[in-house]
Amino acid sequence: MAVHAHPDDESSKGSATMAKYVAAGHPVMVVTCTGGERGDVLNPRLKDDAHIQRNLPQVRREEMAKAREILGVEQTWLGFVDSGLPEGDPLPPLPDGCFALEPLAVATEALVRVIREFRPHVVTTYDEHGGYPHPDHIMCHDVSIAAFRAAGDPSQFPDAGRPWAPLKLYYDRGFSKDKMTTFHQALLDMHRESPYADWLARWEKRRQGRITTRVECAEYFSKREQALLAHATQVDPDGTFFTLSQADQARVWPTEEFDLVVSYVPVPEGEDDLFAGLPDAADADELATSKLPDVVIDDVVERSAAEAG
């Protein structure tokens, strides 16, 4: 299960990994917390399309449906409203009723209900910084951590379904400095102009996230690109996502990266599989319906708070 803030996030973060697991026969669920209602049209070719401007919420749902079909995943809307990305100094207040202002318990129960129904063994989401400081991404992290902790506890949200405890939790690390540096150098080596110099200059101010897990998935980069392009209002087909061809990306960086922050099963160093360490299906299901110790999650929360500080 991959928990994301907006439609299009699932295609830019970990989508080749999801497509790989779908092809291997694993059910994969994308949870989209908001409808992206307050997003802008980021594709310059569509900025002046009156129909899109009038109907952006519906258009983004239609785009999500196309991306879902391309990746072969299941997908559900958690039902909250996009918070937008406030800009200015001082920052304007967030709009009433938006996802980032929802009571944590309300949003957590909604995700717990989906976890208990879908019964994933592995959950991916964002770190405490949201990957970047969009209020919905940060809220997505908070809700994911709370729901991961609560889903297996029968005393929490008893009306949200039978308890089910996922066994592993990862943060997505799809945009690491090392990856962008490698892309930048690959373009220079081909005597091409690189758009990543500005990214790398800004990176000095960003915290570097840990990477524990690298999933080989170059075979599914075409699915990732198609899914991105399905979000036509959000993705510029001439933008930086596509500066390097799929073949060049596969040559210089054939993996997608994650940070394992919780595991109830032992895992090897340098794992290359999000399901590494899981027992067979029957034993994993039995473990997921057991009461697992809270201390593991507490350690994660404390580590996240310490790193954030």
pLDDT tier for residue 306 given thresholds of 50, 70 and 90? very low
Tokens matching residue 172: 């997505």
pTM value is 0.92
pLDDT digits (tens, 9 = 90+) for 11-37: 999 999 999 999 999 999 999 999 999
pLDDT digits (tens, 9 = 90+) for 245-303: 999 999 999 999 999 999 999 888 889 999 999 988 888 888 888 866 654 444 544 44
Please tell me whether the peptide bond between 90 and the residue prior to it is cis, using omega within 30 degrees of 0: yes
| In the chain, domain spans | 2-173+255-303
Asked if residue 198 belongs to a known ligand binding site, the reply is: no
Strand partners, 172: 258
Asked if residue 9 belongs to a known ligand binding site, the reply is: yes
pLDDT digits (tens, 9 = 90+) for 208-232: 789 999 999 999 999 999 999 999 9
Q: Which of 63, 56, 61, 58 is nearest to 41 (CA)?
A: 56
Domain 2-173+255-303 has CATH 3.40.50.10320: yes
Following DSSP, what letter does each residue of 88-111 receive, concatenated?
Answer: SSSPPPPPTT-GGGS-HHHHHHHH
Asked if residue 26 belongs to a known ligand binding site, the reply is: no
List, in order, residues 6 or more apart from 111 with CB less than 8 Å away.
3, 31, 33, 78, 143, 144, 146, 147
